[in-house]
Amino acid sequence: MEDLARFRRALLAWFRKNARDLPWRRTRDPYAVWLSEILLQQTRVRQGMPYYERFAAAFPTVEALAAAPLDAVLKQWEGLGYYTRARNLHKAARLIVHDRGGVFPVTSAEWRMLPGVGPYTAAAVASIAFGERVAVLDGNVIRVLTRLFDIAACSDAPSVRKRLWGFAEELLSPASPGDFNQAMMELGAVTCLPRGPRCDACPVRAFCAARRMGTQEDRPVRAPKKMVPHYDVVVGVICRRGRYLIGKRPAGGLLGGLWEFPGGKVAPGEDREAALRRELREELGVAVRVGACIATVRHAYSHFRVTLHVYRCVIASGTPRPLGHTALAWVARGDLRRYAFPKANLKFIDSAL
């Protein structure tokens, strides 16, 4: 790009005047910056703000986070989704406290050694908190760059991603790398929008090749989305003497470490009630009588959708054992909120129990 200095000055001046007032921008505390970057992965700022404030209040330092049990961490994360982020955040906090004596990594290379920290997050934290001259590349920055340079090739292709990293590094302000990276992200978040980009309000519109060519609405070019599969899931609500039976999911898989009402997928051609009897036999080692369906809940994950069919059940024989869970608990209705549940479970807990 010609006249890099003018581009940088225009973007930084705009950012310093117009940047949203966000709590993690009021500090260079690496814990606050790191927490915000992890929490905002796959999450918009408006949605993530209350979670950030709640999480930071519960665990104000890396030492507090490291000392907390995982269940408490997952409870604060409840409803935000992508729970692997929370588990890795907790694991990394313990590594920082116990293995590094509470000293944070400084360089992006050091940050990448922590669980859950990839190239983007490492660069963001290292540049914002420590001033390392390293560029970032997230979805917002990709959109800005593909428009600035009018890139017609698919931005998902590895070769194009490599080019985009090169552009990001070329543009980076060596004097203010943290502010510049935030400015690029902010530009994509509030001005260079996916649809209907606000070109007239863009501080660097004079440098934008896509705007000159009239192709800004066509950038970035993305690979076609795959069809999202759908699954029917049956869930059993078993109540005994005013207490409900819930199980804790294994730590390693989807929604690991969260509590749930037992159940599972309906196999092709399988009757729902038969599927529920099978699932509870496999997960709990009990035979049940399936009662009324008390709720139907639709929920979308990143790569699939589910419809939960929730039934009241009574144990006909057997004693529940954690065959499909790491633990079971009988919990009073008023105490369910103490446990961290997947969002789909929360939908019917509030409406049907």
CA-closest candidate to residue 105, choices 40, 36, 37, 30: 30
CA angle, corner 32, sides to 75 and 89, nearest 5?
45
Joined tokens for residue 118: 């990839």
Residue 342: count of CB within 10 angstroms of its CB: 21
Joined tokens for residue 62: 């890396």
Does residue 229 have a cis peptide bond before it, meaning omega lies within 30 degrees of 0? Answer: no
The one-letter code for the residue type at 157 is A
Examine the residue annotation and report whether 78 is marked as an active-site residue of this protein: no
Calculate the dihedral angle through the C-alpha atoms of 41, 43, 47, 51, rounding to the nearest 10 degrees: -40
CB-based contact 344:258 (threshold 8 Å): no
Out of 37, 132, 186, 279, pick the active-site residue: 37
Residue 141: count of CB within 10 angstroms of its CB: 23
Joined tokens for residue 296: 């139907």
Residues acting as catalytic residues: 37
